Amino acid sequence: MENTKQFRNFGVKDKLSYMVGNMGCDLMFMMASMYLLKFYTDVMGVSAAIVGSMMMISRFVDAFTDVAMGQIVDRAPTKVKGKFTPFLRLAAGPVTIASFLMYAVWFRNMSMTFKIFWMFFTYLLWGSVFYTAINIPYGSMASAISDDPKERAELSNWRTIGTQFVMVLISVVIPTFIYYTNDEGLSVLSGPRVTAAAGLFSILAFIAFMTCYYTTTERVKFESTNQKFSIGKLVTSLITNKTLIALVVFSLVALLGQMSYSNMQTYIYPNYFNNAGAISFTSLIGIIITLLCSTVVVNLSAKFGRKNLAIFSMVIQAISFIVLYFIQTTNIWVWTVIFEIGFIGSAVFSLITWAMLTDVIDDTEVVQHQRADGTVYSIYSFARKCGQGFSSGLAGAMLSVIGYTAETQFAPDVVKGIYDITCLVPAGSYIVVTFVIAFFYPLSKKRVEANTAELRKRRGEHVD
């Protein structure tokens, strides 16, 4: 690995470029996380249990495709545009087309067998093949843009800021378009409008990926991995890499909590509170909170370390959902105030999580004397997808248990069950994550700084 000095200094262009690339991923990922389950249950008439099972099954496929893509990235040669950036151009078209095809409202009158087939086919094509092909090299790219911990924290920060811009579209603007009030005065989902929104987001995602491709500068050059791939060796290295194991576990469980709420907010606001517009309102407040946190989180990270900030973020989120569960409020304003206090923790965690990944990649290189950005990121990506899939599977299963269907969606027992699911799954998840980070994740502020100094020493760079 060598660090080439001929490029311009790290600056605003790098942050904006990396942010835009993440916006392309989030336009598809967040649309699927928030509305795909709702779309198939309420519009296409597919059982919530079947939709949730599909999302869980696809994660087993990801176990192979994510690792395979990680190997492809690590073995790829460094070209003029770099090692990771060229994959953005290759996968931008296929992934955005596959994303749009998942919301095929024109098939809603087809047989149930065909609708289930189409749902499985397009979801696997999008999530397990093409999304993997673009997201893993994009995520790995952060290590090549800069090797400085503070600059990587800024990239993570701006990546999350990009997510908030997408949240404005997905959670604030789109609900006002895709929901309508029926003759009974109830908030229901419009299938054709969901499909139209998915088409628009696919176009925007393609533009974002190409913008990122043309504006990204990879400064740190990594040699290609030429060693023969061995699944046994990979498993052995994972088992002995305690830092990576901790990252995988807490990332999976954290995303389980986050995505469970993301899935359930499309049920609790329209069905429990009968106020679909509240999705936009609470999301807008969350976006403002995240943007405010982004102004201080880099300095807080430098002062207290990302591990301590992550523990704080998990504790405050867990407390907020526990309080909401026990008070069982029907007042949407009470719900919103308590939820948004807890959302401070969600904002902080989102802002630092990608920098924590680069910390783990550096730590792995220090310990194992081998750089494997693509492989490590693919394992991390798989963990996140598992969290997403398990959350959807759990939400689908629990919705089926409480008797949720398009016909019973406003029954008193059903909406009470929706409230309980929305509170308990995130609360339990965040308690587990707090424990894992506190007792099993070893990358303290001191160790991160020591790893950075060691890697610079190995590259023959000056260390302050």
Mean pLDDT taken over the chain: 82
In this prediction, residues 194-214 reach a mean pLDDT of: 93
Looking up residue 173, the CATH number of its domain turns out to be 1.20.1250.20
Q: What is the pLDDT of residues 252-308, one digit of tens each?
A: 888 888 878 887 888 888 888 888 777 778 878 888 888 888 888 888 888 888 889
What is the pLDDT at residue 455? 78
Position 397 pLDDT exceeds 50:
yes
Position 371 pLDDT exceeds 70:
no
For residue 463, count other CB atoms closer than 10 A to its CB. 10
Per the domain annotation, does 6 fall within a domain? no
Q: What is the pLDDT of residues 402-429, one digit of tens each?
A: 888 767 778 888 888 889 989 998 999 9
The residue range of the domain holding 198 is 11-221+230-458
Position 199 pLDDT exceeds 90:
yes
Position 7 pLDDT exceeds 70:
no
Question: Which residue is it, tokens 């095809």?
Answer: 101
Position 442 pLDDT exceeds 70:
yes
Does the reported pTM lie above 0.85?
no
Per the domain annotation, does 2 fall within a domain? no
Residue 368: closest CA among 185, 232, 242: 242
- How many independent structural domains does the chain possess? 1
Position 388 pLDDT exceeds 90:
no
Lowest mean pLDDT among 108-117, 175-184, 192-201: 175-184
Lowest mean pLDDT among 159-173, 392-406, 435-449: 392-406
Per the domain annotation, does 4 fall within a domain? no
Per the domain annotation, does 84 fall within a domain? yes
Per the domain annotation, does 199 fall within a domain? yes
In this prediction, residues 215-242 reach a mean pLDDT of: 66
Per the domain annotation, does 16 fall within a domain? yes
Which tokens is 289 given? 């909170």
For residue 176, count other CB atoms closer than 10 A to its CB. 12
Per the domain annotation, does 269 fall within a domain? yes
The residue that leads in pLDDT, 59 or 322, is: 322
What is the pLDDT at residue 122? 93
Could you give the C-alpha distances from 211 to 16, 208, 223, in angstroms and in order?
A: 10, 5, 26
Position 204 pLDDT exceeds 90:
yes
